[in-house]
Structure 1
Amino acid sequence: MSGMKFNQINVKMQNSQLSEDEMDEPSATGKSGARASYLPAAWEDDTRMNALFTEFRARNANTAGYDNKMKFWVDVIDACVVGEDMVTFSAAELREKLQRKGKKPHCIPAVLEEMHRSKKFITMDQFFAASQESWVAWGFDSLVKKPFSFTTGLLFGSSSLDGDKTRYISLDLVKAKAADVVDRAQSGILPSSALDLATFNELFGDIVSGPALPVVLKHLQRTQQAVVTDLDNQEHATIKFLQRGSASSPRHKVDAKISEADRGVIAVRRSLKKMEDEAAAMHTKVEELDAEVRSLVRAGKKPVAIRVLKKKKLLEKALAQKDVVITNLGNMLFKLENSESDTKVFETYKAGLSALKKTQQDTSLEKIESIVDDIQEAVDIQNEIDEALRSPLRGSGDDVDEDELDRELKDLLEDDATGNLIAELESLKVADNEPIPAKPVTPAPAKRDSSQRGKTGFTQ
């Protein structure tokens, strides 16, 4: 993870670099003045709270008073961190959260330093630098080569204990969120053990996101529950869980590295998502063109209506072809996700062979040949899919007659009042390869019997 550029995964910590006057965090009291549920009843006592909001005096001046005040704030901060789900935070952010009647507590930095000394909280520097030897082998060697203190200033401000800007981490929350992620991952929700960042966010975004994401991922990697790579590159960031399971199958360990097969699954998944987005945009465009054709038909603008109708038909054909590719990619992804490794396939065959020997002692050559034929059929199907994906898009070759289009557009006018416009529009056929004129071509006026004028609704 070169440089730890977490901004690529939406890790935005601007608040840590703002002054208290610039910050606009919602307070624990709330706009309505109601006290947050995690705050003690003493929060309503103006006299006591005014005293508690002041700076600490020397402990030797009043040991009991100092200790009581410290305990009060330790409990409040602990409750606030949990109640506000603050995996990572600074004194400035806590002062903003815990403001009361427009006043902010001045003693928060001193309390955080005490909680840090008692190992309740840990600084960001310490978290990312701790126990390097135990997790270098799990993919964080690039981070070890550049200690986190080198890069943390780029994202989180100063890395030293400078009061308001020092960033702390709640280890209890980190462990809790990591456990929730692992529990969900082992419930059978994973499409595959290796995920790209977008898929991870879709599956676990309600548990962890934003500034907490790299912290929780680091914990999962350090505890050997996941492998994480390339977090500085959103296109290539990969998270691989090292255990999988579901309600119907036992948990099993997976290869503790991101293989080419894993990257292949992720590449297909990304391609499928891109194709689906493109198809959705094309569908919207088809609907817009359909509405435009209807409007032009009603307005009697025949040449323009024909041109737009051709564009709509061509787009519909392209959309149908894209749907075929999407289906093929979906089938391929399903097969890849259900056959993640050669080892798993081998174990499946071995288990099947054992069961076959126990239940069918009279296995014959014909049965074996039948199995081989089934396997060959599956391979042939896959080859057909591959060939379809490699084939260029081709038009249907249908020709279109301008006179036929003219007649059908006239019929649309006659049937519009009866509500059959949609069905008639969908029945029109347009060739893929017919050029679309850049400008409308106005036909020369035709001599017609006066009794026939006005029937088509087009201006001659």
Structure 2
Amino acid sequence: MTTLSSSQMPQQQQQFSSLDAYLATLPGWTGTDERSNHLIHSLFRSFTDLSPAAHAEKITFWRNVISEAASRRLLGDHVSAFDAKGLESKFKRRGLAPLGLDVVVSDMIRTQDLVPLAQYRNEISWGSWAVSTLVKAPLSWGYAQVTGKKSKFTALENQYVVAETVKREADAFLSEFYQEAHYGVDHVLRVEDFQSRLADACAAQLNGTRPSKLDIDLVQTYLKASGKAVFSVDPNHPDEGIVKVRPAQDKSSSTLIITETDRGIIKLRRTVHMLHLQVEELETRIFNLTKQAKDRVRVGQKERALYFIRQKKGVTELLKKRIASLETIEGIIGKIEGAESESEVLAAYQLGSSSLASFMSTSGLTVDAVDATMDKLQDTLADQAEINDAIESGQNAIIGSTVDTDEIEEELEQLLEEERAVSWPAVPTAPLPSKAIPSAGKNASATTNYAALDAELDDMLSEEMNQSSKRKASAQPLGA
């Protein structure tokens, strides 16, 4: 009998839309000539009708096909596991199913190429599954399958893990991970970051085929059981899990432990991640508020433009504080990354903790302060109608104390100056009239402030007009 060697199997990088498409690439599978029919006939016959040589060749052929099909996600929803129930019917050819695939699966279990899923996921029995009753007596088990004698184990009624695929995925992840791990602290990750990087590495190794959640879980099980990684996940807070990967240069068999220093590093990184998100959000708000101010100037709504400018100033101040905090914490992480020993890491982390505690203390950001603020907000909302006037006067007081009014007025004046500088049909070219304000006491200062705001508004409008003129000029056809 002529069968396929491993070198004749389709290449790993080739993609197939279905199992039938993959099988069609096997020599003789779709052929109708006498040689093809003879080849397939011998692969589909019962093992009891085969010579010892044909028996071995059939075993080899179907082992390769099952492993390849599973790793291409053609036997189910996973690349490293499949359900053997109905396996023979999946490989039907012209209405006929191959006989004896239970013997093939049994042989793959004997050689540890397949592992029953329940045993693989059981951390207690993971390391000792190879000495199970099934593996201890492969000859008698195989004989029972071939001769038709009853067995307590039914090979095609279980789910299996393709051990080699799991190992290949884990090795691909570790190879890429070690290339990017330049410091000791780089070996500690958030669970979500670990799983994302693992999925990317597996997809690259499998030519774009994304691993399923089960595939990810199986690789995690392998890494943990082989001592290459340790996981710490709180069921009540799964998003706060930690993963520590054993360094490449660590060849010891010592137990990998997640220390309090590791947990502190993860907390700092979570804070950095949160601050980056806040900075992006604040930058977007500043952009939108600037646009809204310009839009209001364009239609002559000076007071509304002033409102948006004041909002922008407040958000800008908050952005500066967030960026300062981000730089501080990233600097702490940088010091930790540069540390050469565990004691230096601990000292840097303690310095970081002290710095953060000092920052929170001096900024007044405490639990009591937040609770007090929220209580005041609830009281305000409960009787909003009664305190409308108080809110308005309070806002004026806050604006006067925390925002540079002269700067706001200057920005408004710039917007208005832009308005005057460019011809715009919908807006008068003359300066906008200012309110008559008494020149004595506070009112004299207010007059100056509004002049500055007018100037900022003029500048903003002038910029808008210039951009509009450029757009109109670029839209005109050549030679016009």
1:120 matched residue in structure 2:
113
**Structure 1 residue matching 2:284: 3-state secondary structure:** helix
2:246 matched residue in structure 1:
242
Gaps of 5+ in 2: 1-13, 129-151, 203-210, 366-397, 425-461, 463-480
Contact 2:91/2:98 (CA < 8 Å) preserved in 1?
Answer: no
Tell me which of 332, 349, 358 is aligned to 1:387.
Answer: 358
**Structure 2 residue matching 1:168: 3-state secondary structure:** strand
CA-atom RMSD in angstroms:
4.8
Contact 2:173/2:197 (CA < 8 Å) preserved in 1?
Answer: no
Q: 5 Å matches for 1:246-261? A: 256-261=256-261
2:198 matched residue in structure 1:
204
Looking at structure 1, the residues matched to 283 and 86 of structure 2 have their Cα atoms a distance apart, in angstroms, of: 46
Contact 2:188/2:243 (CA < 8 Å) preserved in 1?
Answer: yes
1:149 matched residue in structure 2:
none
Tell me which of 183, 186, 190 is aligned to 1:192.
Answer: 186
Tell me which of 159, 170, 175 is aligned to 1:178.
Answer: 170
Offset, 1:175: 2.0
Offset, 1:269: 0.4
Gaps of 5+ in 1: 1-26, 136-159, 347-374, 419-455
Offset, 1:223: 1.7
- 1:41 equivalenced with 2:64 (yes/no): no
CA shift digits 1:167-211 (9 cap, x unpaired)? 311111222222333333433526522211123235433224532
**Structure 1 residue matching 2:192: 3-state secondary structure:** helix
Offset, 1:216: 1.6
- What is the identity, as a one-letter code, of the residue corresponding to 1:413? E
Scaled by the length of structure 1, the TM-score of the pair is 0.57
- What is the identity, as a one-letter code, of the residue corresponding to 1:213? I
CA shift digits 1:336-371 (9 cap, x unpaired)? 34448635669xxxxxxxxxxxxxxxxxxxxxxxxx
Q: Which structure has the greater CA radius of gyration?
A: 2
- What is the identity, as a one-letter code, of the residue corresponding to 1:43? W
Offset, 1:407: 3.7
Scaled by the length of structure 2, the TM-score of the pair is 0.55
**Structure 1 residue matching 2:324: 3-state secondary structure:** helix
Contact 1:242/1:254 (CA < 8 Å) preserved in 2?
Answer: no
- What is the identity, as a one-letter code, of the residue corresponding to 2:263? R
Tell me: CA distance 1:92–1:292, structure 2 relative to 1, closer, same or farther (3 Å). Answer: farther
Tell me which of 405, 410, 413 is aligned to 2:416.
Answer: 410
Tell me which of 72, 77, 94 is aligned to 2:66.
Answer: 77
- What is the identity, as a one-letter code, of the residue corresponding to 1:286? I
- 1:60 equivalenced with 2:48 (yes/no): yes
- 1:214 equivalenced with 2:185 (yes/no): no
Tell me: CA distance 1:243–1:45, structure 2 relative to 1, closer, same or farther (3 Å). Answer: same
1:276 matched residue in structure 2:
276
1:429 matched residue in structure 2:
none
Looking at structure 1, the residues matched to 55 and 171 of structure 2 have their Cα atoms a distance apart, in angstroms, of: 37
- What is the identity, as a one-letter code, of the residue corresponding to 2:244? K
Q: 5 Å matches for 1:368-383? A: none
- What is the identity, as a one-letter code, of the residue corresponding to 2:227? Q
**Structure 2 residue matching 1:43: 3-state secondary structure:** coil
Tell me: CA distance 1:252–1:56, structure 2 relative to 1, closer, same or farther (3 Å). Answer: closer
Offset, 1:133: 9.1
- Overall identity of the aligned pairs, in %: 17
- 1:397 equivalenced with 2:389 (yes/no): no
**Structure 1 residue matching 2:223: 3-state secondary structure:** helix
CA shift digits 1:249-270 (9 cap, x unpaired)? x989997211111100001101
**Structure 1 residue matching 2:297: 3-state secondary structure:** helix
Tell me: CA distance 1:171–1:307, structure 2 relative to 1, closer, same or farther (3 Å). Answer: same
- What is the identity, as a one-letter code, of the residue corresponding to 2:243? I
Contact 1:186/1:251 (CA < 8 Å) preserved in 2?
Answer: no
Contact 1:30/1:36 (CA < 8 Å) preserved in 2?
Answer: no
- 1:129 equivalenced with 2:122 (yes/no): yes
Looking at structure 1, the residues matched to 113 and 271 of structure 2 have their Cα atoms a distance apart, in angstroms, of: 45
Contact 2:279/2:319 (CA < 8 Å) preserved in 1?
Answer: yes
* Larger relative contact order (Cα-Cα within 8 Å, sequence gap ≥ 6): 1
**Structure 2 residue matching 1:42: 3-state secondary structure:** coil
CA shift digits 1:65-121 (9 cap, x unpaired)? 8776554332212222345582222247978997889x8967697354553344321
Looking at structure 1, the residues matched to 308 and 89 of structure 2 have their Cα atoms a distance apart, in angstroms, of: 58
Tell me: CA distance 1:98–1:133, structure 2 relative to 1, closer, same or farther (3 Å). Answer: closer
CA shift digits 1:233-284 (9 cap, x unpaired)? 5323221122255xxxx98999721111110000110111011112112212
Looking at structure 2, the residues matched to 67 and 303 of structure 1 have their Cα atoms a distance apart, in angstroms, of: 88
Offset, 1:166: 3.4
1:286 matched residue in structure 2:
286
Offset, 1:405: 6.3
Contact 2:119/2:126 (CA < 8 Å) preserved in 1?
Answer: no
1:442 matched residue in structure 2:
none
- What is the identity, as a one-letter code, of the residue corresponding to 1:73? W
Looking at structure 1, the residues matched to 65 and 126 of structure 2 have their Cα atoms a distance apart, in angstroms, of: 36
1:227 matched residue in structure 2:
230
Tell me: CA distance 1:81–1:231, structure 2 relative to 1, closer, same or farther (3 Å). Answer: farther
